[in-house]
Structure 1
């Protein structure tokens, strides 16, 4: 198979893609900014034209949710403008574009799991910039796959599991939000889904991928400490008791039925996925 170009190769999903590529027999090329500058249309065009890519996977994103409220231009440049440029460049060469998006395109007011057909209504700058990126991808390249995910964790980068383990090593008790619910999801599992989709001749469109099941942040924290064998008391609090610059969706649960029907990908329980991450971190 021809190589796959990955943007955001040092992030959680990008790192997982680089690690999984050999297992799939795929050469993963994840250039640094000196070879692929997402702020430069010319750089994007040159990178896409450099080789005969099987697909391009866009994992790059401005993910500082709170910081985005005071840096809307920066968030928009990475999350909205760059994906549209990638879509135009890949469409011009007949290359499929896989684009990673987020639960933050929804406002979290739905009482059930969100499906791909639910109306988007982002609450803040980050979500709005990612939703704009989705629109840019759809408009720029008919041969696209948008994969929304949520609550990503891994042994790499910055994420909730790593934060809990760090804080738990410093404190005997923590207060954690209990009225936001979502689907904790392994970056490795997301990467595996992306590679499975990239290697199949499936349709274009938008899908959701998260690990199976649901939890609150408080429940997730307790699971992490239990798995790690750490004696840390976790006190449940409300979102109002932990104010942040950006509003979070109260419901970030994403339905994966469409993904299972289309690609036969059946996400494993989040407990198995997160447990694997905790085991890796504690072993290290």
Structure 2
């Protein structure tokens, strides 16, 4: 199995690159300098130049406000990009792995969202992610994985939520974190492992949820980060509405799968990430 990995420098792409290398699986990584996902011609050229059996599409704009500010660009990258990838994969008899988001739900459910729940996207970003699910299904051999907010390493210059909070705590800044926003924070390496398992096991094609087990408020999650790192930072409880957004954001988006065995809990996954981050920091000194 040879894999064409798109979006190789982001959080998910970095996780896949690590897991592929760990498992000795051949892959071709392409970043945004190598591929313009919003261009059908650029996507076609990439597929022609890099034959593979599987394509893993980790490209995407993941922030709500930028998508509201430029809906055309958001649609071109998140939705039409998936369409172009799906068409190329289908024409070549490849398997496609596409990623969607918990944002396709409206956040009104008290419990966990599963694959059986009906999406109700409430923003440009959410609509673009739901569209990517539909477009991916145009490839007969496809896996769509919905994921919650993630943490993990990345090879580009962007910082994820956990890393931003860690940087702020290291600077001694006081933090305000929403205690009414509930999620299932998930380690990107666990998502990559889940997707590779679906491919290796030749699992039935279709839609899956991939999330570390459990749910937690953003406040309690960052409090756990503080506890595990031993950083002396002051946290203040806030409400999600205190943080400006172009559109209302779903408040309760905890996820789990009814198709797959439960992944390890978010606390264990977070501890693993923080330990690996500490080791990397020590090696770079």
Measured in 2, the distance between the counterparts of 1:31 and 1:97 equals 15
Matched-pair contact (CA < 8 Å) for 2:186–2:266: yes
1:282 aligned residue (250, 255, 278): 278
Matches within 5 A, 1:106-145: 106-138=105-137, 140-145=138-143
Matched-pair contact (CA < 8 Å) for 2:112–2:255: yes
Matched-pair contact (CA < 8 Å) for 1:17–1:28: no
Matched-pair contact (CA < 8 Å) for 1:161–1:278: no
Measured in 1, the distance between the counterparts of 2:175 and 2:49 equals 50
Measured in 1, the distance between the counterparts of 2:134 and 2:200 equals 24
State the match for 1:199 in structure 2. 200
Q: How far has the Cα of 1:199 moved from its partner?
A: 2.0
Measured in 1, the distance between the counterparts of 2:71 and 2:106 equals 18
For residues 60-111 of structure 1, what are the alpha-carbon distances to aligned partners after superposition, in whole Å with 9 as ceiling and x for unaligned? 0011221111111111001100101111111111111010110001110111
The normalised TM-score by structure 1 is: 0.93
State the match for 2:180 in structure 1. 179
Matches within 5 A, 1:20-39: 20-39=19-38
| Structure 2, unpaired ranges of 5+ | none
Matched, 1:67 2:63: no
State the match for 1:220 in structure 2. 221
Q: CA RMSD in A?
A: 1.5
Q: Please, which moves more after superposition, 216-225 or 161-170?
A: 161-170
Matched-pair contact (CA < 8 Å) for 1:183–1:215: yes
Matched-pair contact (CA < 8 Å) for 1:61–1:78: yes
Measured in 1, the distance between the counterparts of 2:32 and 2:233 equals 41
For residues 124-173 of structure 1, what are the alpha-carbon distances to aligned partners after superposition, in whole Å with 9 as ceiling and x for unaligned? 111111111111111x2121100000111013342111011111122353
2:150 aligned residue (148, 152, 167): 152
Matched, 1:84 2:83: yes
Matched-pair contact (CA < 8 Å) for 1:155–1:280: no
Q: How far has the Cα of 1:30 moved from its partner?
A: 1.0
Q: How far has the Cα of 1:50 moved from its partner?
A: 3.2
State the match for 1:272 in structure 2. 268
Please state whether the residue corresponding to 2:47 is helix, strand or coil: helix
| Structure 1, unpaired ranges of 5+ | 261-265
Matched-pair contact (CA < 8 Å) for 2:7–2:32: no
The normalised TM-score by structure 2 is: 0.92
